[in-house]
Each structure stands twice: as structure tokens, then as C-alpha cells.
Chains A and B, each alone.
Chain A
Amino acid sequence: MNDSKQTDPSLTSAIQNVPALAVEVHDLHCAYGKTEAVRGLNLRVPGGRCYGLFGRNGAGKSTTIKCLLNLLRPQSGDIKVFGLSPQKDDVAVKSRVGYVPEHVSFHPWMTVARVLRYHSAFRLHWNHDLQSQLTACFDLDPKKRVDAMSKGMRSQLALICAVCHEPDLLLLDEPTSGLDPIIRREFLQTVIGAYMDSAPGQKTVLVSTHLIAEWEGLIDEFTIVEKGRARITMQTDKAREHCRRIHARWPGTVPDLPAELGYREPDETEGAARLLTTKYTPEQEDNLRALGAETVEVEPLTLEEIFVATSAMPNEQEGRREL
């Protein structure tokens, strides 16, 4: 009975709360000519997590990821990947990182087998079993040429190239946007699962996406990026517990509501208010009733709803907000 109470060590390591940081970005600025894509972004990605970078098109997600890989040179700011600078320790960082870009491009004349051989040649370590397993799972024909492949198949090939050297950090830039729903499922379940399972608690995924619903169950923590800055950073569990839309209704007109009750969403009907809060407590309902609200309904939000709702909020609290 005694030993049955002992917890599996791999099980505890996977959920420890204080892992080392895989990625640390401080006050990053990056511009394309006169266009500032990233404007003072801060980001801390703990190791062993599946981290989401959510944002609309043009928010600065891809630019940030490219800076992590030293594919773009930022104007200013500090970047550390596993404590190393991507610029100064280019090879050391790249050897530990797998990357699937938003727009995949291979030499069009290469076959699947050739692409894989080519990519493996750049790596000290290559898991050939994983390569065959994933090639079979995606049903990719090794003899097929890249220029005869669909967009989705190229993304799958890029993913195989990114995970087979078993990196400690997997950077995915809008990875599922070109994939059909069946492949997306496969992608999320099999690939991310197998990757994170290969060394529980040590493999980190940083994924940028606006298809948040697809990633709902996989994301441990996320940052919403807006106009080149981190708007909101939250742990997914905390977000589910504390983000609410409160629908309140008054017999007459809505009185002035204190700001701490939440952000008041526009387009409300007469006598009704919709409040968006990231710090929900049941007392807020009591407070609304004390202010004369007749009915108070609390609506929990999915990650996607949180993203959509917060992007409409005025941006008076910029930078990192933690719960």
C-alpha cells in the first residue's frame, strides 16, 4: 500500500511549476523599414510547456519568432533562448530548436526522401524511427517531388523536418492554417503529443496562431499579442477560472458602474450591460445586485472568446498583465 501512494517521478516532473525559462524576451523592438512590427514585446516561456502566442494578422507574432531564430535582427531588446543569445550563440540556439515557418519552401525538384536526407545532414542527431513513423502517419510518399505536393503535405514535411532532430524547443508559426481538419487533428494529437512525450516536462512548444479553438486543449499558457506588444499573459487554467462575461439587467437605465467590475462592452440594449472581467469573483455578482441589477448572469469564456473579447477592450493597461 505504501509504494502505491508514491507518485510516478515523470508525472511530477511534468507539472512542476518552476521550470527554467525556454524563451525570455524583454522590450523587443523590430521594424521593417519604417514599419514597426514589434514594439516593446515582453515574453517569458517556461520550459516543458505548450505556449500559445495569439494575435491577429500583423500583430507581430511571426516577427517575434523570427527574432528568436536570428532570422531577423531586432533594433533593440534582449532575447534569450535557453539562456543564450540567438545572435551571439547562433549555432548553439539553432541546434536546440525546431522551426516550422508560416510559408514552407523546399527545393521544388527534391523528393520527400531527399528533403529529409538533406535536412538530417545539418543535424548531429536524427531520429529515423520517428521520421518513418510520421511519414507513414501523414501518408507521405517518399518518392513524391515537392513541386507535386499540396500546401498541406509540404507543411507536414516541414513538421517532420522540425521534430526529427528532437529539439528542446519547437517553434510553430501558424502551423495548422493550411491543413484540412482531419490532418489538423492528426497534427495536434499525434505530433505534438509524441514530441512532448519524448521527454516529459522538458520539451517546449511555442505556437503562434489565430486558430485558437484548435489549440484550446493543448495550450498551458498564452500571451495575446496586439500591435507588437504583449497585451495579456495568462495561464490557461487561470483564464478559464477568472475570465467571465457578466450579463446584468436593470429595471430602468444602467447606473454608472465602477471600473473594477470589468470592461463594459459596447452595443448594449436598454437597461442591460455586458461586463468583461479577467478577475472574476462571485462577489462581483453581489456588487451588481447591490447596484440594483435585477438579473445577473455569468458566462464562462473559451480561449477563443477571451481572445476576441479582449481585442475589443481599450488598451489602457499595456504590457504584461498577470493573474
Chain B
Amino acid sequence: MHIEINYKSGKPAYLQIVEQVQISAASGTLRSGDQLPSIRDLAEQLRINRNTVARAYTELDHLGVTATRHGLGVFIADFANQLSTAARKQLAQEAIDAAIVQARHLDISDEEFMRIAEASLISFNKRRGESK
């Protein structure tokens, strides 16, 4: 699992971990039952505070993306079952809203935005097909 913290992104570090794990889980890079690194290992790997990793893991548990098995570690939960349709839609909605805001800032027209989104969807599905 590759996680990268970008201090210039304007996002809290714990949230960046949460989002990257969520994306990995949704894209199939992480599968249900996969184990995440221990708090200590991830903190050392990313050169961040263990409090930050602990907060990210608690949040992931709370969102149902992971399940912490006491004494064993943190595992990717059965993703589809854990997140209700509404919750999943809301997550997607937030990400799409952020992309729209970004596109507006960059002066990208709605038509251009839709073209980019479509192309991304196609290439994403293609990649996912290959990884399966």
C-alpha cells in the first residue's frame, strides 16, 4: 500500500490517509481482509506522528472501511456490506463536488469537465479490469 502525505494540499494529514485507504479499497488495490500497517510502522514510514495515524485508523473504523481486531491489527472490512448505499453515494458526491469546484477555479468549461470525467471513468474501468 502506498500512501503519500502532501503538506501543500491544505488537507489534514489524517484525512489524507483516510481518503487514500478509501480510494485503494474502492479501486480494489486493497481487498477485504487485507491488513494495514501497524500505527507505528505507518508513522515511521510516512515520518508522521503516531497520533495522526491513530486518528486516521479510528476514522476508517468509524466509516466501516476497516475493522480493528484487538491484538491482531487493522484490516480492510467487507467494504460493500459495511457502507450503506447512501453513505457511499455521499462519499462520491463530496469528491465530485470538490472536483467541480477545482474545475471552476481552473476555468474548465462544463463540457470539457464532462469529457475529462468520461475519459477518466473509461481508463479507470480498464485498469480495474486488468487488476482483476
Contacts and interface: CB of A to CB of B under 8 A. Distances in A.
Interface of A: 3-8, 11-12, 14-15, 48-50, 185, 188-190, 193, 196-197, 200-201, 216-220, 236-238, 240-241, 244, 282, 295-298, 300-303
Contacts of B68: 4, 6-8, 11
A50 B51 contact: yes
Interface of B: 5, 7-15, 39-40, 43-44, 46-52, 54-55, 57-58, 61, 67-70, 75, 77, 101, 105, 107
Given A15-B55, A193-B43, A200-B50, A240 B10 contact: yes
Contacts, number: 100
A5 B77 CA distance: 10
A220 B101 CA distance: 29
Contacts of A303: 7
B70 A6 contact: yes
10 contacts: A3-B69, A3-B70, A6-B70, A12-B58, A49-B51, A217-B7, A218-B49, A220-B52, A236-B12, A244-B10
A40 to B, nearest CB: 30
Contacts of A193: 40, 43-44, 50
B49 A15 contact: no
Nearest to B105: A297
Nearest to A11: B54
Contact of A218 (B8, B48, B69, B101): B48
Contacts of B15: 237
Given A14-B54, A237-B14, 6 more contacts: A4-B77, A7-B61, A11-B68, A14-B50, A217-B47, A240-B12
